[in-house]
Structure 1
């Protein structure tokens, strides 16, 4: 294992310290690094809190800031944060209008966020993201996994929260965005968790894992490496089949790298996926390409399609200023 770390035991703390030092103009670290939060909180605004295991950066800490999250709780690598982290984040960012949790559908995340909500003194609601079409159940979930579509939910709901919408309205909007969002991933290599010191799974030089999860969970099947056009065709086909009759009109296409995929390849995949989606009748109205929901050093990518309406499109376009996303400001 070759990694730029000091020690396995301090990798998360060292990374968070560097992250907060680099982006100290927009965010600060909570006590004992239990969470990161917006530097300047907005009184009377519903606070958005998310989190999950580390190793997926810039998700979620990189999405803390104006127009997105108010706080994010980082767990150890690929491990859910604890309820006390989430409760500390709630207490730090709740300015009286309540808190909305945005939670990826993994058993540890769901259980711990539920416990934190029960302990919180203020009003807390939850949006559960489960956009992965690859499998209904995996090693970490009951039901679909929450993957890169979580970023889309956080951006759109974050913009609405910035406008001053109340907790019930934001939950309804988050549930709507999640229902109109589907994702699927493909891995060309495994990833190496620092504590393990070796790849999570073995994969042949001429193989790929179709439908892989963001923790390296098995996908639909192990197959021979194919062309980008063929990979995009299978992934977009699965996404549109799952969306069914709702797959019409304008859409956002998000091509997400898993951490070790060059931008050249991500844009190549975008071109292939956009052509397949447009041939199926969708109009690609908005785009995002880059490594935003990663799996440490895994090579591969995921495709996410969100079917937009005018409200969602306007909220996607609204100003945002985070470590990972910035436009309109």
Structure 2
């Protein structure tokens, strides 16, 4: 295993400290572990908190800032943060308007975030609600979940719910729009090279030079099918077929996210998007906005995922609202 690190047990802490030193105008670190909050607390609004294991950068700390998250909590690589960490994050960002937790559907994340919410409610009287993102169409149940996994579609939840919160909406309203995004977003991914968790020292699965894995998750876990490597267009057709079969996108406007898994060249992501756009056009699905890049990675995994979000007028407006974070900036 080759990693550019100092010590396995310092990876997460040094990563967060390095991010804060790079973006002090956006984020600061709490003293209670790897929790980052907005450098300048925004008052008078519902606060959004999200997080999960490290290794998905820029998620989640990279989306802390104006129009998106108020706090992000990082556990060890691919491991849920502890309830205590999440609880401290909730306390730090609450301003009396309540806190919405955006949780990806992994058993550890769901249990720990819910435990933290109970602590905040019982000990501090904070009104905490949650949404659970489950956008992955590849599997119904996995090594880490009951039900579908939460993957790159989570970024759309951060953006749209964060925009409504920034406008001053109530906790119930912010929760409702977050759930609407979840109900209308679907994702599927693939990989041609696995990743290696520093503490494990070996890849999560093996692939020959001429093989690919279809339906991978974001924790280095294998997918649902190992098959011979195909062309970019053929891979896109496989992923889109499953996504388009899950929701009726006919006649809809959509937001598209082509998300790199950590080591996929931007050149290849644009090649993927080229065919995605053509297929959607052929099917009469209008692309309103496209995002291409690394938003929710899996360390150095080489591969990509496609996310489609079926939009209505409210979601389009909120998608276009200003955001200013280390990893995503939207200007009007």
> What is the TM-score normalised by the length of structure 2?
0.97
Are 1:16 and 1:33, in contact at CA under 8 Å, matched by a contact in 2? no
Residue number in structure 2 paired with 1:214: 218
Residue number in structure 2 paired with 1:35: 35
Q: Deviations over 1:171-206 (max 9, x none)?
A: 110110111000000010110111111211111111
For structure 2, the residue ranges without an aligned partner over 5 or more in a row are none
Residue number in structure 2 paired with 1:288: 291
Q: Deviations over 1:107-158 (max 9, x none)?
A: 0000001101111131000011000000000000000000000000100000
Helix, strand or coil for the counterpart of 2:308? strand
Residue number in structure 1 paired with 2:275: 272
Segments of 4+ moved more than 6 angstroms: none
Q: What does 1:294-305 align with in structure 2 at a 5 Å threshold?
A: 294-305=297-308
Following TM superposition, by how much is the alpha carbon of 1:221 offset from its aligned partner in structure 2, in angstroms? 0.7
Q: Which moved more, 1:143-152 or 1:195-204?
A: 195-204
Are 1:50 and 1:69, in contact at CA under 8 Å, matched by a contact in 2? yes
Q: Deviations over 1:283-302 (max 9, x none)?
A: 01101000110000000000
Q: 1:316 aligns with which of 307, 314, 319?
A: 319
Q: What does 1:109-120 align with in structure 2 at a 5 Å threshold?
A: 109-120=109-120
Q: How many positions carry a matched residue from both structures?
A: 328
Q: 2:175 aligns with which of 171, 181, 184?
A: 171
Helix, strand or coil for the counterpart of 1:33? coil
Following TM superposition, by how much is the alpha carbon of 1:216 offset from its aligned partner in structure 2, in angstroms? 2.1
Judging changes above 3 Å, is the alpha-carbon distance between structure 1 residues 241 and 127 closer, same or farther for their aligned structure 2 residues? same
Residue number in structure 1 paired with 2:243: 239
Residue number in structure 2 paired with 1:195: 199
Following TM superposition, by how much is the alpha carbon of 1:260 offset from its aligned partner in structure 2, in angstroms? 0.5
Residue number in structure 1 paired with 2:140: 136
Q: Distance in 1 between matches of 2:250 and 2:68?
A: 26
Helix, strand or coil for the counterpart of 1:116? helix
Are 1:34 and 1:88, in contact at CA under 8 Å, matched by a contact in 2? no
Q: Distance in 2 between matches of 1:200 and 1:224?
A: 19
Q: Distance in 2 between matches of 1:319 and 1:262?
A: 28
The answer to whether 1:181 aligns with 2:185 is yes
Following TM superposition, by how much is the alpha carbon of 1:247 offset from its aligned partner in structure 2, in angstroms? 4.3
The answer to whether 1:151 aligns with 2:166 is no
Helix, strand or coil for the counterpart of 2:220? coil
Q: Distance in 2 between matches of 1:216 and 1:29?
A: 27
Helix, strand or coil for the counterpart of 2:230? coil
Are 2:204 and 2:222, in contact at CA under 8 Å, matched by a contact in 1? no
Helix, strand or coil for the counterpart of 2:193? coil
> What is the TM-score normalised by the length of structure 1?
0.98
Following TM superposition, by how much is the alpha carbon of 1:217 offset from its aligned partner in structure 2, in angstroms? 2.1
Q: Which moved more, 1:267-276 or 1:94-103?
A: 267-276
Are 1:180 and 1:246, in contact at CA under 8 Å, matched by a contact in 2? no
Residue number in structure 2 paired with 1:106: 106
Q: Distance in 2 between matches of 1:277 and 1:300?
A: 21
